[in-house]
Amino acid sequence: MNLLYVNPAKTDLQRIKAQKQGKNLQKKLFINFLLGQFFLLIFLTFFLGMNNLSAAANKYMSISIFILGFASITIIQPFFSVFYEDKETSSLISLPISEKEIFVSKLLTLISNSIGLFLSYILINIFSSIQFSHFNIVAVLLILVYSVALFSLWISLIILIFSSLSKIKLFIKYKKTFNTGIQTISFLLVFGFYGAMNALDNSIVSAKDYKGDFLFNIVANPLATNSLIKILAIVLLLVIAMILLNKFVIKTYFEDIIKVKTSPKKEIKKLDKNEKINLIKIYKGMTLKSFSNGSLITQVLLTPLFIPMLFLGFIIALIGNPYFKEGLAVIPTAIMISIIFGIAMYGHGSLSFLSISVDYKNYEFLKTLPINIRQYLLVKYRLSIILQILPALLVYSIILLILGVDLIFFITSLITFLIVSLSYETYGFNNDLEKPFTGWGNITQLMLRGKTGLKQWLIFSGFLLVFALILTITVFYTIYLPKLWWLLTLIYIIILLALAFEIFNKFFKLINIEK
């Protein structure tokens, strides 16, 4: 925890806040860390434990691959953000700690993102082994060793691969493009596999009838000779991976990051004296540059996909459901579904929620100049809204088409989605303009705005529970009182428009103040 204390992702604001409250920061970080992993462990164990693997043994390997793939996603995004995009690494060198300690502190933060998955994987393997065969303490211990070794080997390989990229000149030159591309491809591969697993493979084979595969055979019979050889091979590979990690990643980290930080800069075009200055063009360029962080771009592209992937099973089950073709009677349901998606598909890294904070120094500088700052803010607002909403709108439209809803449901959903999205993003812009977040060292810290990931997940879970209840009530209302659809529709429209009016009214007041 002493290492976590000096980690850039955990310092500054949290340290100041803890000092003011008279609390121990190390203890606070440790408790937040344990709580976060505890909730993730419960969620994943429940989510994945719904599969009876003794009755569907052929699903075991698919679930294992998904967990390992999901672990890759949790590692890759903070890896680039904390290791190669962090602004505070150079300042840490002056502290009385070694370079290796700084690296390990970052590595601990990185690995902490996967601890919940790690524990879930161990539990699922142990429960599966007990389901597939009789309980045996030696077998359970072997499964524990196997699970720890395989998961650790996988994470080590991921770090080795992506650390090796930092040594390539092409990566140094185009690190943002590489960052975005790698994270996007990884996400699509993992959740694409998960989607294909749910949509295409409906076969169920019991443990007695299943012929087995590489991973299944180890868990089903860990005491067998072949299983023992496989476990030993995995442990040996882990030892080799750790040696390589120390030699080629830890020892060369600072040399690599200096190369990345000092990558060739583009030549600045000199302005012709006779050329007129186009402020709008300059504002657009400044805004797009501030949004060019690789992790931020990935967040914009992938967050709209996360919610559909999370509930892919429900979406697949509802394809072609006649309820969506009930005409006017289901308009309230269309409105409520669109409200849920119009908020949930943006996440805490939404562009409008950090558009001022991500470029706060330039914003403060421009305010000192004799220019129309309102014009600058409007450009920033429009760009953040367009870049954020378009991907989400496209994904939501595809979901509606896949579900096979009728025209009334489709049009109502899109209109509501646009109103909610515009209102929600404007609300975020208002908050960031009023209270910009300036104490951030990397984009991950900015997205969380000094809060813990646990709080974000609890808020998100609470949001889903509340709106799932409202949606359930709405569906039952439309089924049992179809002729009174207009009453509930009117109530929803009044509430929605009232909130939208309040948000946009505040937006124009804030913009006009900055004239």
Is 269 domain-assigned? no
pLDDT at residue 298 greater than cutoff 90: no
Alpha carbons 251 and 58: distance in angstroms, whole number = 43
Task: Name the range with the highest mean pLDDT among 26-40, 81-95, 161-175, 211-225.
Answer: 211-225
The arithmetic mean of pLDDT across residues 309-331, rounded, is: 82
Is 401 domain-assigned? yes
Is 407 domain-assigned? yes
Shared-domain flag, residues 377 and 443:
yes
Shared-domain flag, residues 187 and 310:
no
pLDDT at residue 275 greater than cutoff 80: no
pLDDT at residue 135 greater than cutoff 70: yes
Out of 91-100, 144-153, 298-307, 329-338, pick the least confident: 91-100
Is 273 domain-assigned? no
Shared-domain flag, residues 155 and 38:
yes
**3-class DSSP assignment, residue 452:** coil
Say how many domains are in the chain: 2
- Domain stops at, among 197, 229, 261: 261
Q: What percent of the chain has pLDDT over 70?
A: 65
* Helix, strand, coil % in the chain, rounded to nearest 5: 80, 0, 20
Q: Which helix (H) or strand (E) holds 167?
A: none
Closest alpha carbon to 347 in 449, 468, 194: 449
What does residue 353 show for φ and ψ, rounded to 5 degrees? -75, -15
- Give the DSSP per-residue string, 301-368: HHHHHHHHHHTHHHHHHTTT-GGGGSGGGGHHHHHHHHHHHHHHTT-TT-HHHHTTGGGHHHHHHHHT
Shared-domain flag, residues 9 and 57:
yes
Q: Are 409 and 485 in contact (CB under 8 A)?
A: no
Confidence of residue 10 (pLDDT cuts 50, 70, 90): very low
Shared-domain flag, residues 363 and 251:
no
Out of 70-84, 282-296, 335-349, pick the least confident: 70-84
Token reading at 14 = 């949290």
Is 274 domain-assigned? no
**Contacts from 229-237 at CB under 8 Å and sequence distance 24+?**
231/142, 231/145, 231/146, 231/149, 234/146, 234/149, 234/150, 234/153, 235/145, 235/149, 237/153
Is 501 domain-assigned? yes
pLDDT at residue 101 greater than cutoff 80: no
- Domain stops at, among 261, 295, 328: 261
Is 271 domain-assigned? no
Shared-domain flag, residues 405 and 472:
yes
Shared-domain flag, residues 344 and 469:
yes
Is 267 domain-assigned? no
Contacts of 198 (CB under 8 A, 6+ apart): 312, 313, 316
DSSP 267: P
Reported as a single tens digit per residue, the pLDDT across 17-71 is 555 555 555 566 666 666 666 666 665 555 555 455 665 666 777 778 878 887 7
The arithmetic mean of pLDDT across residues 432-449, rounded, is: 76
Give the domain range for residue 137. 2-261
Shared-domain flag, residues 287 and 232:
no
Confidence of residue 279 (pLDDT cuts 50, 70, 90): confident
Shared-domain flag, residues 250 and 299:
no
Shared-domain flag, residues 44 and 173:
yes
Closest alpha carbon to 452 in 105, 31, 70: 31
What is the pLDDT at residue 129? 82
Reported as a single tens digit per residue, the pLDDT across 454-485 is 567 677 778 888 988 999 999 999 999 999 99
Reported as a single tens digit per residue, the pLDDT across 197-256 is 666 666 676 667 777 777 888 888 888 899 899 999 999 999 999 898 888 777 666 665
Closest alpha carbon to 294 in 323, 260, 258: 260
